[in-house]
Structure 1
Amino acid sequence: MGFLSSLFGNKTDAVQEFKSRGAVILDVRSKAEYDSGAIPGSKHIPLPHLNGKVEEIKKWNKPVITCCASGMRSASAAAVLRKNGVETMNGGGWFKLSQRLD
């Protein structure tokens, strides 16, 4: 186990735990980015539109794993959702997240 994993836990394990509870993957990249490749079955709400969709996301009644290109926008999205009472985690970059979901 790496140094950061020992401090913060294993992200793959956390992703798998969320997945086992029916988590929704929420991609917050732009439409063009999403259209160029995305996790199958993921929901797409670009970060600038997220605040207007929080009530809709709450109705999913599921944990949410956010993702984007590198993890920066998804971290912001996760913070917004957490602040609004949605159980969420930052999955980071979508491609790496897709590997963790296998």
Structure 2
Amino acid sequence: MDIQIEELKDKLDANEEFVLIDVREDHERAEFNVGGTHIPLGSLPLNIEDLEEYKDQEIVVYCRSGNRSGQAKAYMEQLGFKNVRNLIGGMLEWNRRLG
């Protein structure tokens, strides 16, 4: 199940335990980010082994609009990750709602 902006903000504010991954490019992350590990979508296959230990944990992926993170979610699910959630609307929606 994907995740809405407000739910992610609440999880971050409460310091909940989950894995947060930003799949945008370097220049996008430099402009604005909400934290997490930076793994651009194109390099996800090269770095997937680093995430193996989190296969059964909640993972939230985000990008600019939700498209690339949706691709990352699908890729990770194909590899057996059990609880990957895409941030609906990405950073565009985050900035629009929470500025």
Q: Same fold (TM over 0.5)?
A: yes
Which AA in structure 2 matches 1:25? L
Percent identity, aligned pairs only, is 25
Deviation at 1:84, TM superposition (A): 1.0
- 1:14-71 Cα shifts (integer Å, max 9, x gaps): 758x8786211111000010011100x3110000000111111122453210100000
- 1:69-89 Cα shifts (integer Å, max 9, x gaps): 000000000011111112201
Matched with 1:91 is: 87
Matches within 5 A, 1:1-102: 11=4, 15=8, 22-39=17-34, 41-60=35-54, 62-86=57-81, 87-92=83-88, 93-94=90-91, 96=93
Aligned length: 92
Q: With a CA cutoff of 8 Å and minimum separation of 6, indicate the structure with the bigger relative contact order.
A: 2
Question: Compared with structure 1, are the counterparts of its residues 36 and 76 closer, same or farther at alpha carbon in structure 2 (3 Å cutoff)?
Answer: same
Q: 2:20, 2:94 → 1: CA distance?
A: 9
Q: 2:23 touches 2:61 (CA, 8 Å); kept in 1?
A: yes
Matched with 1:4 is: none
**SS of corresponding position for 1:79:** helix
RMSD of equivalent CA atoms: 3.2
Q: 1:27, 1:9 → 2: CA distance?
A: 15
Deviates more, 1:28-37 or 1:59-68: 59-68
Structure 2, unaligned runs of 5 or more: none
Q: 2:2 touches 2:85 (CA, 8 Å); kept in 1?
A: no
Deviation at 1:13, TM superposition (A): 8.1
TM-score, length-scaled by structure 2 = 0.71
